[in-house]
Amino acid sequence: MIVTTAQLFKVAYGKYAIGAYNINNAEQAMGLFKGCIQSKAPFIIQISKGARKYTDTKMLEAIIRAADEIFPDAIFAVHLDHGDEETCYDCINSGFYSSVMIDASHDPFEKNVAITKRVVEAAHKKGLSVEAELGMLGGVEEDIKVEDGHATLTNPAEAEEFVKQTGCDSLACAIGTSHGAFKFKGKQSLHFDVLEKIKARMPGFPLVMHGSSSVPKDEVDRINKAGGQIKDSMGVDVNEYLPAAKLGVTKINIDTDGRLVWTRVHREFFRDKPQEFDFRPPGKIFIEEYAKFIASRNQLLGSAGQLDEVRKAVTKK
Ligand code: G3H
Ligand code: 13P
Ligand code: ZN
């Protein structure tokens, strides 16, 4: 069942976080739905601009609609990840998405406000909610690279002003994470102080954490043993997900970790079976391994086991 992100946030806020997982193809979709059903968790499917271009937006939509039929117990929202203004309008008008993210965080404050406000107006007219971003995460996002040292944490006073001026429904805050597999040099923690200040100014307002992959060391070690060369990677400490959720982080975005599962499965498979060229056997292993991974993340986010309560809340007359 496709629901809105707002419905999911309402149930989860302050208690646990909803996992927001990116998908690009049928294998990821199968693993994601299986893992969420196994762990009885609601979830958010994220579609990036890159994912929309990878095959075709229609293909992704058909995959998701098919998965919804195959797994009738699933409860999820469909969200555009890191949209520009044009892509937001496209998704708003498609009638398929539950919510969009307008990411104008690389623009100055006033321009970010103006763009976000326009998207909010268009989205609200059609009943979709809008995630916006303030502050700058480090690392690489599709076509934008923020160099080390140029990332900026979200300013809590500005965040309050931004939400007031734009009317956005949730806010992605920069609290020390970055996209990809190389988030930190050495041990580092999320900036809980920033979250506390934002929550104090906007109690009840859903916050979003991007760049939340944990980049498991055992996964990276296995990839490297099978011929990979991923050096000095470092992710978010999984034990910080739930404390962040209690401070208002209601959506936690995880993409890179899924790519690592895919890479590990395929590297090991073709290393061990060099004569093999059928992609279905490793594809099947990936689906199972990704499902296991997703279930483990939902446990850590606190969303595992919440499906029945969410169903009651979203079907209540
Ligand atoms: O934040 C970016 C997400 O991980 C999506 O990545 O733009 O390469 O699809 P992508
Ligand atoms: P990761 O690169 O840490 O998985 O972050 C994904 C993300 O923020 C998608 O918007
Ligand atoms: Zn992101």
> What number does the ligand 2 atom closest to the CA of 235 have?
3
The domains located in the chain, with CATH, are 5-315 (3.20.20.70)
76-83 and 43-48 beta bridge pairing: parallel
Would you say the CB of residue 213 lies under 6 angstroms from ligand 1?
Answer: no
Q: What is the pLDDT of residues 228-245, one digit of tens each?
A: 999 999 999 999 999 999
Look at residue 139 and tell me whether its pLDDT is greater than 80: no
Q: What is the pLDDT of residues 263-276, one digit of tens each?
A: 999 999 999 999 99
Residue 311 CA to ligand 1 centre (angstroms): 29
Mean pLDDT of 67-74: 98
Residue 136 CA to ligand 3 centre (angstroms): 11
Would you say the CB of residue 131 lies under 6 angstroms from ligand 2?
Answer: no
Active site residues: 81
For residue 21, give the ligand nearest its CA: 2
Residue 200 CA to ligand 2 centre (angstroms): 26
Q: What is the pLDDT of residues 40-63, one digit of tens each?
A: 999 999 999 999 999 999 999 999
CA distance 192 to 200: 12
Q: What is the pLDDT of residues 97-119, one digit of tens each?
A: 999 999 999 999 999 999 999 99
CA distance 52 to 42: 23
